[in-house]
Amino acid sequence: MASAQDAPSKSCEYDRDRILAMEEKQFDQDMSGGWRALAYKPGCSIVAADLLRDYREVHHSDSGILFWHEAQVRASAGQYPEAVALMKRAYKPADADKAGWNPYVDATIAFLLRDRTALEQAKAKLAAVQPPAGSGLPPVVNGYIELDLPDGSKNRFRWPLNIDVVEGLENCFDKPYVDAYEDVCRQTKR
């Protein structure tokens, strides 16, 4: 996501009525539409975060993922206190957290609060998460799960989910969130 250190420009304009009328999945997951189209434009992060807020309000949504995405955009723009407050609204009920979402949230909040000890504790909790029993997921092999896709290709990802993101936050602990979230921080110890 682009950082929003600059004032919004004309490039941040969008069709508010059309976007607010989208179904939530399209609004949230369409990489070229919805809020993401704005968030990836330089100088438009705050506009995108405000759009996420407005979407939740218009639709009376308590969607944890929308709170989370608004929080991420605000964190990328340096609005850490606002991001932390939103992240706290993205937790899942303990019995519904089968893949380590809550420790991921804890780790990200700890990063934003610059609490290395809490980040390490959350990372340890996340690293201990096992794939849910009976989920139909293939086994974890060398820290990865490999799924067969309908087109015959494979999708390989780290388990537990988001452990690579948390490692990146740890590796680049002294950097801003917008930088620490990037792939380069996930790949090597800094």
Q: How confident is the model at residue 189 (pLDDT cuts 50, 70, 90)?
A: low
Residue 50 makes CB contacts below 8 A (sequence gap 6+) with none
How does strand 144-148 pair with strand 154-158? Answer: antiparallel
Domain boundaries, the chain: 1-90, 100-190
pLDDT band at 8 (very low <50, low <70, confident <90, very high): low
Closest to 168 (Cα-Cα) out of 107, 114, 121? 107
d(CA 25, CA 40): 18
pLDDT tens-digit map of 144-181: 888 888 898 988 889 999 999 999 999 999 999 999 99
Residue 33: pLDDT band with limits 50, 70, 90: confident
Q: What is the pLDDT of residue 88?
A: 98
Please give the mean pLDDT across all residues of the chain.
Answer: 91
How many alpha carbons fall within 13 Å on the CB side of residue 87? 24
Q: Which residues contact 1 (CB under 8 A, 6 or more apart)?
A: 39, 40, 45, 48, 72, 73, 76, 178, 181
Q: What is the pLDDT of residue 1?
A: 57
Residue 32: pLDDT band by 50, 70, 90 thresholds?
Answer: confident
Res 132 pLDDT > 90:
no
The reported pTM is 0.89
Dump pLDDT digits (tens) for 92-125.
999 999 899 999 999 999 999 999 999 999 999 9
